[in-house]
Structure 1
């Protein structure tokens, strides 16, 4: 490569292009990280709660629940407070910048673009939070759209100023001074977001406007001071490393090898090896052990209770047509969750030492699925029936759910058998 070609490539790089490349690389890395754990099954588990939340949200507009009508206006500021306390300035600084970005104009340019990126990204969760709060702000407390917009902008500006203030504190202080400074900054942010909510009428709007102006002015002054000083470069690099690895750390938080704990206490359920079924058929014995192992695992029970509690809440807060969809859909998700569970259970060392025939595995899976899914289906059917038609409807809902989950379980077993025959 000639010297002229090298000079032209060097001149082709601009501050804007360098920042864009770093942001693009960051999001590609995040997509690859999340792509390792999110497939179509996980996507279904994530999509269905969103659909349930959408139905509940529509119900709040039509008929706000009693707890929402009794909540004061300042309660709406609790979710934005968490966002303000967690806001962070993204600078996309890298270790090599100390060697290759000697010109101050490049550093100031990257910081300016980082500030603009932080402001744009921070606006997304603020808009989402207040969009979810609209039934409470407009439907219950009667706020107008301009007032909600003013509240949104005030929260956004205060959160942005909080992110810059937190960045300056982390770059300048260490030890107890950092702890005290962060605590004082958090108190100021909470007061700025909470105080106007206790006012009424025109004073409240004036307070939100003043909060917005103070947030913008504070953010501008903090950014101006950061552009003029170079002493917090190492802190910026460290914060960027933490931001880039946050998703990976979240996903592998349970994958780190830990020393096994010696448990001297007994499990909460089935502390003794008592029998659940009288039959000694191999499929029944396998289903019995699989069910007991499931009920002794806190992680599996947490998912099970999560489906049950979320389903009961969604059904009780939804109109009739949505209740029918939820009663039909939630047991299908639970059925998907436990579909391969008996086969996975056979990988345990104790169970693997016994020979199991394919028909015993299929029969055990069918029994285990029915015992784990049927309670959720019956409870949801009872809640939907009682909410719409009283005690008679509850009885009909229980019968309908029992027949429905029995058919679903038989169809799942039939499809599993056809798949096994095709694979063989």
Structure 2
């Protein structure tokens, strides 16, 4: 008979946690479809990343201080801690304090290593700006990253201790204090980064490492926080699942007696039946919070994707994003036009298509203006950039919706 040990219990729980995260991703991600997104994204992103190492960096990056980069890297290294405690432990393991301490120690160690690994991977993205703007030696970068990594572990563990020691809103508020203290320490320590790296770096890392060991020891020896620890662990484990489900499913619509947009039923367009239909489609789109939020996100997130790359990648990304937005708007129109309410109204297919073009062109104008402005001003400066932005906006509003509707209604005819 195999004797169960704390190490076996921890390994089984860790494997279960990894499997849960994998299944959560599998429920909302089609990996075959993701290949069509990841491969072009990696090729384009890889080209942009290489250009950041070889070509001159954007002028705006030179004005970013080291403290802001350090805070960003600290944020990338930060993450939730898991002690791998479960509700059922109250029946047996809670009486075995030695086993509980071993499981909690392994949980703190593995969670910290996972956060450090995540931080190292994500920090590679900002490394060209830091290496080329701040001419440090290799040993200076090693000291800097070790300092940020240890500080993130200290702030994360201190925040966990404070949150489980205090209940309610006080616990949530006080758990932010270690993060605030870490940010202040980063700002102060990077005011003179030469002094930090040459004189104060290693002693400061040593002090933080000693503080981290003390926090680990205190965390393991804490008593009376079992139920709050289990609650924190469950919240952390279900965090990814909750985020994925919030994007994959829509929340139930709250019934209200009055809308907060177009409260007086203003008409955007007057006249023909297709214009009245377009009015209804635009209002239905903007009154729905989920679609409105997605609409604003794709309108603004595309700006850095167009502004930062070199010119040949910039043009490709600009065109692809414009067509993606127009196609998405037509998909939303397709859902609206197939609603039960519209099926009883005597609109012809031609009127539906005319209304679709008008509604999509209206909704498309805002992101087209933003992205065209980002494209024009990143290519040219002054009046030439503004003129290019205006011309690109007008051309895309006239052409892109008409081309996107072909793909949409071709897909509709297949269905």
Do they fold alike, i.e. is TM over 0.5?
yes
Does residue 142 in structure 1 map to residue 141 in structure 2?
Answer: no
Match of 1:409 in 2: 404
Separation in 1, partners of 2:46, 2:283: 36
Determine which of 312, 317, 320 is the counterpart of 2:308. 317
Q: Is the 8 A contact 1:374 1:402 kept in 2?
A: yes
Q: How many positions carry a matched residue from both structures?
A: 406
Separation in 1, partners of 2:234, 2:204: 32
Separation in 2, partners of 1:120, 1:54: 27
Determine which of 254, 258, 265 is the counterpart of 1:263. 258
Separation in 2, partners of 1:75, 1:275: 45
Structure 2 stretches lacking a partner, 5+ long: none
Query: In the superposition, relative to structure 1, how do residues 224 and 293 fare at CA in structure 2: closer, same or farther (>3 Å)?
Result: closer
Does residue 338 in structure 1 map to residue 329 in structure 2?
Answer: yes
Query: In the superposition, relative to structure 1, how do residues 206 and 126 fare at CA in structure 2: closer, same or farther (>3 Å)?
Result: farther
TM-score by length of 2: 0.79
CA drift at 1:143: 2.5
CA drift at 1:246: 2.3
Separation in 2, partners of 1:175, 1:288: 47
CA drift at 1:117: 1.0
Q: What is the RMSD of the two structures over their aligned residues, measured on CA atoms?
A: 3.9
Does residue 16 in structure 1 map to residue 11 in structure 2?
Answer: no
Match of 2:213 in 1: 220
Query: In the superposition, relative to structure 1, how do residues 98 and 55 fare at CA in structure 2: closer, same or farther (>3 Å)?
Result: same
Does residue 233 in structure 1 map to residue 220 in structure 2?
Answer: no
Q: Is the 8 A contact 1:166 1:182 kept in 2?
A: yes
CA drift at 1:97: 1.9
Summarize the alignment of residues 81-120 of structure 1 with structure 2, pairs less than 5 Å apart: 81-82=74-75, 87-101=79-93, 102-120=95-113
Q: Which moved more, 1:331-340 or 1:361-370?
A: 361-370
Does residue 156 in structure 1 map to residue 149 in structure 2?
Answer: yes
SS of residue matched to 1:198 = coil
Q: Answer with 1 or 2: which has the greater Rg.
A: 1
CA drift at 1:138: 1.5
Query: In the superposition, relative to structure 1, how do residues 124 and 361 fare at CA in structure 2: closer, same or farther (>3 Å)?
Result: farther
Separation in 2, partners of 1:180, 1:304: 32
Structure 1 stretches lacking a partner, 5+ long: 1-7
